[in-house]
Amino acid sequence: MERSRALFDEALSLLPGGVDSPVRAFKAVGGDPLFIARGEGAWIEDVDGGRYVDFSLSWGPLILGHAHLAVVAALREAVGNGTSFGAPSPLEVDLARRIRRSFPSLELLRFVNSGTEATMSAVRVARAFTGRTKVVKFEGCYHGHADLFLVKAGSGVATLGLPDSPGVPSSTAADTLVAPFNDLRAVERLFEANPRSIAAVVVEPVAGNMGVVPPAKGFLEGLRSLTHSSCALLLFDEVMTGFRVHPGGAQGLTGVVPDLTTLGKVIGGGLPVGAYGGRREIMELVAPSGPVYQAGTLSGNPLAMTAGIATLEELGKPGVWEGIARATADLAERLSAAARAARVPLQVQRAGTMLTAFFSDAPVTDWASAKRSDRARFGGFFRGLLGRGVYWVPSQFEAAFLSTAHGPRELDRAEAAVRGALAAL
Ligand code: KE4
């Protein structure tokens, strides 16, 4: 690990915490982060030559695994045509058409460069459309780092123990109302207490940023009817769940159709991308067709579009997505069996091609129950896996992901590592 260590020392002198995103620093699991040199299929290799089966997959985007031949070939051809035009290109039309085929509720959509940009822009247009300012979000859900969302967010902020990040004006936080995930009554109370002032309810329809927590029966349906009756908008943040919990996202899985949706990760195949979209009458407010301003130098850039097109092309082939879901179910079962054998309380919660192993003796249904997980044990589990050639996600409050490249060899390696890591706890 000496090269990683040396690089981390230098990175600490250049980057806050030595990383470009907090959760990568391994603070939630202990030890120093590995510096990754390359990835291929389900495997990554660190700068010291260590090889690992990767279940982070860059936090979800790499649903075809690392350096998929079709994605690399498409990028090789595209990059020769130029990296950015700052002008319309046929590629963004192609990708938008493909996305709308999988997400018909996105009658109009706009590409941006990250999930954060997508969610902050979607809230802006929701506020413009309704003429209201308040937004409801859920404890443990994360929607990127825009000020309005850093109020009891999940994911990195929760792991860092900063429920309200410094630097977020209290006036901004005041417009964000927070309810427990899966608690419809709490949302009803928020609407009762804030009549005609809530613009939107923003939700991860299957939570992933406190770990994988599916919606309780009737929860999303309840949010749908509550927002309808209150003339507020329902915004599904599907940056993670899009193409992960179902080929049509959580809205495809549940049949609950939001007014607005945000996407990211998979649709860029590992390149920087986000998108927001929804009902035509709402999205027509976005400049230049309407007055709601939002812009981006590299929005819809040819390389991200190319990687996204190649990814969705492969993913859309018959049986491909289902194969990843089957492998994920297989891994979930092997995790549960290993925990039973080791007499370690483990809640394995899965949705499609993503899953979380909670070190808890009870199912996790919201942030309060997620927080009761044994984080120290999770840290030992993560380090035990790493030492056995498996790179899990370095936080209890994250989802792990599989790809088309996770085959029997990778699952066997993972199972052996899990059994060894659990036994060593
Ligand atoms: P980005 O700005 O990181 O592209 O997307 C923000 C975002 C928005 N919505 C959801 C549901 C998300 O999961 C995310 C980002 N997810 C985290 C990990 N769960 C990204 C990893 C990181 O922060 O380094």
| pLDDT tens digits, 251-286 | 999 999 999 999 999 999 999 999 999 999 999 999
Position 127 scores a pLDDT of 98
Q: Which atom of ligand 1 is nearest to the CA of 115?
A: 5
- pLDDT tens digits, one per residue of 287-335: 999 999 999 999 999 999 999 999 999 999 999 999 999 999 999 999 9
CA of 240 to the centre of ligand 1 (A): 7
Residues 236, 255: Cα–Cα separation, whole Å: 12
What confidence tier does 160 reach under pLDDT thresholds 50, 70, 90? Answer: very low
pLDDT value at 161 more than 70: no
Side-chain-side CA neighbours of residue 73 (13 Å): 6
Sheet with strand 400-401: strands edge to edge:
347-351, 354-358, 400-401
Written as six digits, the tokens of 292 are: 């709601």
From 116, 235, 273, 354, give the residue whose CB has the most ligand 1 atoms within 8 Å, as the site to mutate.
116
Distance CA 358, CA 378 (A): 8
Closest CA to 180 of 134, 138, 224: 138
For residue 269, what pLDDT is reported?
A: 98
Q: What is the dihedral of CA 400, 404, 407, 411, to 10 degrees?
A: 10
Quote the tokens at residue 36: 């990754």
Place of tokens 């409801």: 136
Model confidence over 377-409: pLDDT tens digits? Answer: 999 999 999 999 999 999 999 999 999 999 999
- Rounded to two decimals, the pTM is 0.97
Q: Is 134 labeled as catalytic in the residue annotation? A: no
Q: Whose CA is nearest to atom 20 of ligand 1?
A: 59
State residue 170's pLDDT score. Answer: 80
Q: In what order do the strands lie in the sheet with 274-278?
A: 108-112, 274-278, 260-264, 233-237, 198-203, 134-138, 176-179
Q: What is the overall mean pLDDT for the chain?
A: 95
Express as a percent the part of the chain with pLDDT over 90.
Answer: 93
Q: Which residues does 333 contact at the CB level (< 8 Å), separation at least 6?
A: none
Instruction: Judge whether 206 and 232 are in contact, CB under 8 Å.
Output: no
Ligand 1: residues whose CB is within 6 Å?
Answer: 21, 23, 59, 114-116, 119, 142-144, 155-156, 204, 208-209, 237, 239-240, 264, 274, 398
Verify whether residue 164 is a known catalytic residue: no
Vertex 117, ends 272 and 181: CA angle to 5°? 110
- pLDDT reported for residue 406: 98
Residue 226 to residue 217: CA distance in whole angstroms: 15
Whole-number Cα distances in Å, 299 to 86, 266, 275, 304: 8, 16, 9, 9
Q: What crossing angle do the helices spanning 302-315 and 320-342 adopt, rounded to 10°?
A: 80
Give the pLDDT of residue 337. 98
The model's pLDDT over 336-366, given as tens digits with 9 standing for 90+, comes to 999 999 999 999 999 999 999 999 999 999 9
173-223 confidence digits (pLDDT tens): 888 999 999 999 999 999 999 999 999 999 999 999 999 999 999 999 999
Is 217 a catalytic site residue? no
What pLDDT shows up at residue 153?
46
Q: Which of 291, 261, 263, 264 is nearest to 278 (CA)?
A: 261
Dihedral over Cα of 325, 210, 346, 219: its sign = negative
3-state class (DSSP) for residue 52:
strand
CB-based burial label for 417 (10 Å; 0-12, 13-18, 19+): buried
Q: In one letter, which amino acid is 193? A: A
Which 8-state DSSP code applies to residue 202?
A: E
Strands (DSSP E) contained in 295-411 are 347-351, 354-358, 390-391, 400-401
**pLDDT at 63 > cutoff 70:** yes
